[in-house]
Amino acid sequence: MLPTEILKNEHQLILMVLDAAEREAALIAEGGDVDVARLEQFVDFIREFADRCHHAKEEDLLFVRMGEKGFPVDGGPVGVMLYEHEVGRSYVAALADSIAAAAGGDSRARARVTESLAAYAALLRQHISKEDTILYPMADRVFSDADQQALATGFERVERERFSEDFHERYRALARELASR
């Protein structure tokens, strides 16, 4: 499997959670309960799976190799992707910081919860679409077989060194749980 195919598969899991996040935001906006445990699960999935695992492979390996192949990393499509990762982190920070106050009845915090959840979902959805249809194909066109092999080895090393063996299984289960409601 090409490294970009591994990333595309991870996108499918992230998209499942984005759908659920949008539903959750709509339910809360319509006056539903602020379910602290469930909102913390969204934060956990986004921070651990989407950011620490998926975005790390992009930022530390894929984008770096694209840079070596001549793509500018402080501008152009890669720069936009890096910027969107940062914007996503700020939405998740706003979400995480507002959950307790929202659950305590603070209406502004409640609005911040729904807005940051919905904004994160909208941002990541279009980000994923651009990566799947533009950025990854662009990378695969310029990567040699040796580049692909080195990237695949790098992905394996990241998984082995930074994540426990059951990491992917745990976050697949969490995504399914979040999507089931």
Applying CB under 5 A, which part among 79-87, 114-122, 158-166, 172-180 lies near Fe ion? 79-87
| Three-class DSSP category at 154 | helix
* Contact between 131 and Fe ion per CB under 5 A: yes
What is the number of alpha carbons within 13 Å of residue 76 lying toward its C-beta? 12
Q: How far is the CB of 78 from Fe ion (least distance, A)?
A: 10
Nearer to Fe ion, 7 or 20 (CB): 7
Which residue shows structure tokens 């492979």?
57
- The nearest distance, CB 167 to Fe ion, in angstroms, is 17
Tell me the one-letter amino acid at 71: F
Q: Is 61 among the residues that bind Fe ion (CB under 5 A)? A: no
Among the residue ranges 35-43, 91-99, 126-134, 158-166, the one whose residues contact Fe ion (CB under 5 A): 126-134
Say which residues have a Cβ less than 8 Å from residue 28's Cβ, sequence separation at least 6.
34, 102, 110, 113, 114, 117
Which residues of this chain interact with Fe ion, rule CB under 5 A? 58, 81, 131
